[in-house]
């Protein structure tokens, strides 16, 4: 094995072994996996166990009537039970008492307790019921219409704006962004703390007598990165398994492209930020100073993360967020969001990933430079300008 | 001097206004315990760090077996830095093993060597203990194990005796002697010149980043003007010695009991001193006396080790004050210009 690779791997393996074995890691992994499983499966399980909607039918319940109501239930994704109501007065009473949720008075109307504002003609059970029952009456009165309906009578629907991405995609995008965010902030601070520990315990001097600073830096980022990757893979696996097992709509509507883009940017984002975090960690002499140094490094990420919610829940991103999607510090979060929301074509994702990769290489170089210049300096916190200077830097 | 294994040649290093190394040159022979001595602040740590490339040099070269020291050579070196450091939360055996593998040992032999050294250094049974759970003394031993585990050809120890109790000093010097006997070149530093003079075969003493003297301890302690201690019964003032001319030697001191300490003039015959003494009365004591290394230092530099350290401390503080003064001055000048 090439010596550079061997040394880097030895450093990485130590990180893997030491951190993978800690109780904190075991507990946090279990907690995260359980949280993912519950987050995916619970809504699906709850909706399946929801009580069927009781639908009153005024008059004798014929087979055709039952079929119509059940069809409406299927379209509205609600389980239904048909209840016979002798007359309109009894049906109203049952509605008021909550015994039934909706009443169909054949050929006349659909009764509910209260019409919610602004639901329009959407896919709620009363609306679907009203439309189906209306169609039934139309077919009775105009026999030709029934024939037309069999051939398909719907007109094409044309949108003035490009289609927006479905909610499922946006949710997958959100899931990706949260993962990237959690990954970078949790493991990034671990890297900074780990480097702070090596510096403050002075073990780094023994290490640097035989390991190059770059090997030490890359090994650390790699080792912790592999651990993070394993944890993420487990989370994604649980997401998929729990999703399919519970029949969650989150999984069914997941677009593979979004997951792929998310994965690429997760690795890029991790590499970009974690080398930066390593450099930040090397600036301090005491571990307690690490957080204060890491904070400014995290700022672009925080901005992109906070704004990502507006993109996911609003219709389309503004120009500013599009710009963020192409800047290496913000792209790891902004680009998966833009892609998931359907705001950018795939080629732009590729361009952004390439920019981000180039930025990461640049960042790694700068970080390695800062790191090797400051890792052996003790005393107070080192200012960035000092660390960037070419002047070699030892305490004595 | 062909058997020099490690050579430091013209090392120079400045940090701002402070000169840490000022053309330091000396060589360390193979298979010896070699003391690298000097007051605090003389530049010992910088020089040792430079051997490992941990401190960079403005000028000069460090050679191992005639070749400039590089990564390849450093893997055969063992290092115990002045500021001790191990991973606090890592288990002892794993930690020693880790450093062995970093020095190119295969996993199997790394583990065996780590176990061997833990046993040799009295840490058997503590293999699974976290380093931060060890006593201070045991942490020192663990640090030594890290330096020794890969069976280095050169052992560099920065102040290995600092903070050790007398038993610890004995253990440490025993191990250094044993390694040297096994053919390892051992270089260690100390600012306590007299404490270590019996532990090493040869020394280099430095001051202000420059070599003061170097050579076998026995030669240095005798000096080029051997020292005689002579006492004549009934002569408490050592009057007899004043009869001796400068061609014989100079009186360094007359002790309370009348012992006269004379540094012989180069090439002078000690027996003529004895004759003079006997002429004055019965000679009760007549012997060569070795100098302490601290005296060697004082003779060569004109200052005691303590004075040198105080001066260094003052110089460092003075530098800080000077910088502050300059900054204030610049501020005023800028203010005036505005």
Rounded CA separation B91/B292 (Å): 43
Domains identified in chain B, total number: 3
Cross-chain Cβ contact A203/B86 below 8 Å: yes
Residue A12 has pLDDT above 80, yes or no: yes
Subunit contact B86:A201, Cβ cutoff 8 A: yes
| Percentage of chain A modeled with pLDDT above 90 | 8
The predicted pLDDT at position A70 comes to 83
Nearest Cα to B62, choosing from A345, A230, A57, B53?
A: B53
The residue of chain B with its CA nearest to that of A196 is B87
Average pLDDT over residues A9-18: 92
> Does residue B199 share a domain with residue B168?
yes
CATH number of the domain at B268, please.
3.30.70
Interface of chain A against chain B, CB under 8 Å? Answer: 7, 10, 14, 17-18, 197-198, 201-212, 376, 392, 394, 396
pLDDT band at B324 (very low <50, low <70, confident <90, very high): very low
Q: pLDDT for A385-396, tens place per residue? A: 666 665 444 433
Between residues A145 and B83, the one the model is more confident about: B83
Q: B150 and B123, same structural domain?
A: yes
Distance, in Å, from the CA atom of B115 to the CA atom of B91, rounded to the nearest integer, reads 13
Task: Determine what percent of chain B is predicted with pLDDT higher than 70.
Answer: 91
Q: Given a cut of 60, is residue B260 above it in pLDDT?
A: yes
CA distances from A29 to A15, A191, A233, A234 (A): 17, 18, 11, 9
Query: What pLDDT shows up at residue B249?
Result: 83
| Angle at the Cα of A129 from the Cα atoms of A124 and A134, rounded to 5 degrees | 130
**Which of B192, B220, B248 lies at the terminal end of a domain, its last residue?**
B220
- As a whole number, mean pLDDT of residues A251-273 equals 79
pLDDT at A396: 38
SS3 state at B155: strand
- pLDDT of residue B123 exceeding 50, the answer is yes
- Structure confidence at residue B175 as a pLDDT band (50, 70, 90): very high
> Is residue B8 in some structural domain?
yes
- Do B125 and B13 lie in one domain? The reply is yes
Q: What three-state secondary structure class fits B192?
A: coil
Among all residues of chain B, which has the CA nearest to that of A394?
B55
> A348, exposed or middle or buried, with CB in 10 Å at 0-12, 13-18, 19+?
middle
Please report, for residues A19, A74, A200, A201, B88, the alpha-carbon distance to residue B85 in angstroms, rounded to integers and kept in the order given: 19, 69, 9, 5, 8
pLDDT in tens, A61-103: 888 888 888 888 877 777 788 888 888 888 888 888 888 888 8
Please indicate whether, in this complex, the C-beta atoms of B20 and A396 are within 8 angstroms of each other: yes
Q: Tell me: pLDDT of B336 over 60.
A: no
Residue B252 contacts residue B263 (beta carbons within 8 Å): yes
Are the C-beta atoms of A61 and A100 separated by less than 8 Å? no
Phi-psi category of residue B104: left, alpha or beta, with phi > 0 → left and psi -120 to 50 → alpha = left
Instruction: For residue B4, list its beta bridge partners.
Output: B29
pLDDT (tens digit, 9 = 90+) per residue, B226-254?
Answer: 888 999 888 878 888 877 676 778 888 88
Q: Is the pTM of this model over 0.90?
A: no
In a domain? residue B216: yes
Does B159 map to a domain?
A: yes
A198: Cα separation from own chain's centroid: 34
**Residue A83 pLDDT:** 87
Residue B83 and residue B153 in one domain: yes
Q: Which of B40-49, B202-211, B282-291, B300-309 has the lowest mean pLDDT?
A: B300-309
Chain A interface test: which of B54, B69, B143, B158 (most A C-beta within 10 Å): B54
Q: How far is it, in rounded angstroms, from Cα B312 to Cα B19?
A: 11
- The 8-class DSSP code of residue B334 comes to H
Point out the least confidently predicted range of A177-181, A315-319, B177-181, B315-319.
B315-319
pLDDT at B2: 45
Is A396–B46 a contact, with Cβ atoms under 8 angstroms apart? yes
Residues 6-65 of B with CB under 8 A from A: 15, 20, 45-46, 49, 52-56
Co-location of B178 and B244 in the same domain: no
What are the chain A neighbours of B102 within 8 Å (beta carbons)? 7, 10, 207, 210-211
Within-domain flag for B317? yes
Which one has a higher pLDDT value, A377 or A69? Answer: A69
> Residue B273 has what pLDDT?
86
pLDDT band at A142 (very low <50, low <70, confident <90, very high): confident
Domain that holds residue B234: 224-289
User: How confident is residue B148, by pLDDT bands cut at 50, 70 and 90?
Assistant: very high
What are φ and ψ of residue B4, in 5° steps?
-70, 125
Confidence of residue B286 (pLDDT cuts 50, 70, 90): very high
In-domain check, residue B34: yes
For residue B248, the model assigns a pLDDT of 79
Same structural domain for residues B178 and B250? no
Q: Name the average pLDDT for chain B.
A: 85
Q: Are A56 and A106 in contact (CB under 8 A)?
A: no
Would the CB atoms of A211 and B84 count as touching at under 8 Å? Answer: no
The CATH code of the domain that includes B32 is 3.40.50.300
Are the Cβ atoms of A376 and B54 closer than 8 angstroms?
yes
SS3 A53: strand
Mean per-residue pLDDT, B259-270: 85
Identify whether residues B105 and B206 lie together within a single domain. Answer: yes
Q: Is residue B294 part of a domain?
A: no
Looking at the structure, tell me whether residues B117 and B200 fall in a common domain: yes
Residue A329: pLDDT over 80: yes
Question: Is the minimum CB–CB distance between B288 and chain A shorter than 8 Å?
Answer: no
Average pLDDT over residues B173-200: 90
Backbone angles phi, psi at B266, to 5 degrees: -50, 125
Classify residue B191: in a domain, yes or no.
Answer: yes
Do B250 and B309 lie in a common domain? no
What is the count of residue pairs from A and B with beta carbons less than 8 Å apart? 69
Asked if residue B323 has pLDDT above 60, the reply is no
For residue A44, is pLDDT > 50? yes
Q: Which residues of B touch A206 (CB under 8 A)?
A: 79, 81, 85-86, 99, 146
Across the interface, of A201, A208, A210, the residue whose CB is closest to B87 is: A201
What is the pLDDT, as a whole number, of residue A122?
58
Work out whether strand B77-80 and strand B154-157 pair parallel, antiparallel, or are unpaired.
parallel
B85 interaction partners in chain A (CB closer than 8 Å): 201-206
- Residue labelled with tokens 């930066």: A276
- pLDDT of B145 above 90: yes
Q: What percent of chain A has pLDDT over 70?
A: 82
pLDDT of the residue at A106: 82
Judge if B232 and B253 occupy the same domain.
Answer: yes
Q: What is the DSSP letter of B106?
A: -
The candidate with the shortest Cα–Cα distance to B95, out of B62, B139, B51, is: B139
Question: What's the confidence (pLDDT) of residue B327?
Answer: 36
A8 band by pLDDT with thresholds 50, 70 and 90: very high
A-contacting residues in B 76-115 (Cβ below 8 Å):
77, 79, 81, 83-90, 94, 98-99, 101-103
Give the residue extent of every domain in chain A. 3-43+166-388, 50-149
Q: Does B102 contact A198 at a Cβ distance shorter than 8 Å?
A: no
The CATH superfamily label for domain A50-149 reads: Periplasmic binding protein-like II (3.40.190.10)
- The pLDDT-based confidence of B35 (bands split at 50, 70, 90) is very high
Whether A307 has a pLDDT exceeding 80, the answer reads yes
Write down which residue in B199, B220, B241 finishes a domain: B220
Q: Are residues B29 and B106 in the same domain?
A: yes
Last residue of a domain, one of B169, B204, B220: B220
Q: Are residues B54 and B203 in the same domain?
A: yes
Which pair of structure tokens corresponds to residue A204?
Answer: 């780094």
Amino acid A287: pLDDT: 72
Going by the DSSP 8-state scheme, the letter that residue A314 receives in this structure is S
**Is the model more confident about B188 or about A213?**
B188
For residue A156, what pLDDT band results from cuts at 50, 70 and 90? low
Given a cut of 60, whether residue A7 has pLDDT beyond it is yes
Residue A255 has pLDDT above 50, yes or no: yes
Q: What average pLDDT does range A200-214 have in this prediction?
A: 87
- Residue B109's pLDDT is 93
């Amino acid at each position: 094995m090439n010596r550079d690779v061997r040394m880097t791997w030895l450093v990485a393996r130590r990180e893997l072994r030491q951190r993978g074995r800690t109780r904190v890691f075991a507990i946090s992994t279990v907690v995260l996996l359980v949280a993912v499983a519950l987050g995916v499966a619970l809504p699906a399980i709850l909706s399946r166990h929801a009580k069927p909607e009781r639908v009153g039918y005024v008059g004798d319940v014929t087979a055709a009537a039952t079929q119509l109501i059940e069809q409406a239930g299927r379209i509205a994704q609600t389980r239904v039970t048909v209840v016979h109501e002798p007359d309109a007065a009894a049906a109203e009473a049952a509605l008021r008492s909550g015994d039934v949720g909706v009443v169909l008075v054949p050929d006349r109307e659909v009764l509910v307790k209260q019409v919610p504002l602004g639901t329009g003609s959407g896919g709620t059970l009363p609306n679907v019921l009203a439309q189906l029952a209306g169609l039934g009456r139309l077919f009775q009165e105009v026999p030709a219409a029934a024939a037309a309906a069999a051939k398909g009578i719907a007109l094409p629907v044309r949108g003035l704006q490009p289609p927006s991405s479905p909610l499922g995609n946006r949710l997958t995008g959100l899931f990706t962004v949260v993962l990237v965010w959690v990954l970078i902030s949790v493991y990034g601070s671990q890297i900074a703390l780990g480097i702070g520990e090596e510096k403050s315990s002075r073990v780094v001097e023994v290490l640097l007598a035989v390991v190059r600073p770059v090997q030490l830096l890359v090994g650390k980022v790699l080792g912790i990165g592999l651990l993070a990757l394993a944890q993420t893979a487990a989370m994604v696996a649980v997401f998929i398994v729990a999703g399919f097992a519970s029949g969650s709509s989150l999984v069914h509507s997941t677009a593979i492209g979004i997951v792929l883009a998310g994965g690429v940017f997760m690795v890029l984002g991790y590499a970009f930020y974690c080398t930066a975090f390593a450099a930040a960690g090397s600036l301090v002499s005491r571990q307690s100073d690490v957080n204060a140094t890491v904070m400014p490094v995290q700022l672009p990420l925080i901005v992109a993360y906070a704004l990502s919610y507006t993109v996911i829940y609003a219709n389309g991103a503004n120009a500013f967020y599009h710009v963020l999607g192409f800047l290496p510090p913000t792209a790891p979060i902004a680009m998966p969001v833009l892609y998931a929301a359907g705001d950018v074509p795939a080629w732009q994702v590729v361009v952004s990933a390439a920019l981000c990769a180039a930025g990461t290489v640049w960042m790694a170089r700068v970080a390695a430079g800062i790191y090797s210049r400051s890792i052996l300096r003790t005393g107070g916190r080192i200012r960035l300008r000092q660390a960037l200077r070419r002047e070699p830097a030892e305490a004595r | 001097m062909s058997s020099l294994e490690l050579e430091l040649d013209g090392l120079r290093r400045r940090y701002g206004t402070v000169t840490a190394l000022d053309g330091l040159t000396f060589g360390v022979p193979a298979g010896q315990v070699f003391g690298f001595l000097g007051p605090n602040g003389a530049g010992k740590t910088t020089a040792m760090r430079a051997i490992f490339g941990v401190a960079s040099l403005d000028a000069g070269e460090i050679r191992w077996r005639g070749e400039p020291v590089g990564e390849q050579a450093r893997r055969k070196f063992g290092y115990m830095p002045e500021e001790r450091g191990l991973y606090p939360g890592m288990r002892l055996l794993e930690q020693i093993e880790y450093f062995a593998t970093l020095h190119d040992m295969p996993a199997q032999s790394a583990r065996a060597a780590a176990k061997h050294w833990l046993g040799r250094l009295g840490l058997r049974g503590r293999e699974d203990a976290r380093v931060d759970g060890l006593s201070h003394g045991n942490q020192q031993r663990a640090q030594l194990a890290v330096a020794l585990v890969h069976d280095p050809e050169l052992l560099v120890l920065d102040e290995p005796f600092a903070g050790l109790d007398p038993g610890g000093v004995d253990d440490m010097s025993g191990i250094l002697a044993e390694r040297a006997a096994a053919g390892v070149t051992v270089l260690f530093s100390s600012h306590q010149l007299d404490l270590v003079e019996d532990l090493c075969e040869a020394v280099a003493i430095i001051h202000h980043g420059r070599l003061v003297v170097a050579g076998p301890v026995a030669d240095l302690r005798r000096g080029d003007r051997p020292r005689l201690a002579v006492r004549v019964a009934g002569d408490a003032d050592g009057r007899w010695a004043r009869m001796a001319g400068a061609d014989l030697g100079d009186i360094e001191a007359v002790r309370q009991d009348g012992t006269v300490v004379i540094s012989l003039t180069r090439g002078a015959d000690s027996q003529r001193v004895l004759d003079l003494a006997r002429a004055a009365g019965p000679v009760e004591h007549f012997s060569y006396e070795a100098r302490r290394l601290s005296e060697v230092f004082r003779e060569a530099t004109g200052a005691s080790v303590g004075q040198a350290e105080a001066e260094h401390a003052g110089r460092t503080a003075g530098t800080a004050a000077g910088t502050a003064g300059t900054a204030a001055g610049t501020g005023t000048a800028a203010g005036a210009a505005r």
